[in-house]
Amino acid sequence: MTNIILLGPPAAGKGTQAKRLVEGRGMVQLSTGDMLREAKTSGTEMGKRVAAVMDRGELVTDEIVIGLIEEKLEQGAKGGFIFDGFPRTLKQADALGELLAKKGLSLDAVIELVVDDAALVGRVAKRAEETRAQGLPVRQDDTPEVLEQRLRAYYKSTAPLVGYYWATKDLIQIDGMADIDSVSVAIAKILDKA
C-alpha cells in the first residue's frame, strides 16, 4: 500500500493523474471537496456537522476534514491513498502526519507537478475557446481570470508545503508540463520505488 500527496497549482493535472492511479493501481483518491459533498448527504454524525457548517456558508474546520479523512483511512484501500486538495496549509500537513502515525501508516511520497503558470493560463484559455467553439458553456472556474485568482491563492497558502515536504525528504518534483502519459510514467516510477 502506497500513500501519496499530489501537489501542484490548479490546472496542473493532479485530477487527471489521480484518476489514472485509481484505475490502474486501485488507489483511493481522497479529494476533500468530494468528501465534504458526500458527507453532507450521508446522514452520519460527521455528515450532520459538515452540513450545518456548509449551510451557514462557513469554511469547514481542519478538525472536521481530518475526521473525514480518518473515516476513509479506516475503510482501507489495498492500493493506498492519494491525498488530493489536502493538506493545503502547514497546520494541515502536521495534522495529516499525526493522523497517519496514529493509524500506523506512512506517507510514501509527495509528488509535486512543477508547471509554468503562464502556460497553464494559456492552456485554460485554449480549453475555454475550444469549449465555446463546440457550442458548450464554459465552466465558471475554467477561465484565465479565475485561474489567475486561484493561482494567487495557491501560492499564498499551499506553496509553503513544498518547503515543508522538501525538509522532510518526502518531496519529489516532476515536470507537470510534459504530456499526460509522460507524467503518468514519471509518477509510476516513483510509486514503484516506494
Distance, CA of 20 to CA of 184 (rounded, Å): 8
Q: Which three cell numbers stand for residue 162?
A: 513544498
pLDDT at 139: 76
pLDDT at 39: 85
Domains and CATH numbers, the chain: 4-193 (3.40.50.300)
Each residue's pLDDT tens digit, 138-183: 877 778 888 888 888 888 888 899 999 999 999 999 999 999 999 9
pLDDT at 54: 81
Residue type present at position 57: G
Q: Which three cell numbers stand for residue 172?
A: 519529489
Q: What is the mean pLDDT of the chain?
A: 89
Each residue's pLDDT tens digit, 15-67: 899 999 999 999 999 988 788 888 888 888 888 888 888 888 777 888 888 98
Each residue's pLDDT tens digit, 70-118: 988 988 888 899 998 789 889 999 999 999 999 999 999 999 999 999 9
Distance, CA of 126 to CA of 186 (rounded, Å): 26
Distance, CA of 185 to CA of 125 (rounded, Å): 27
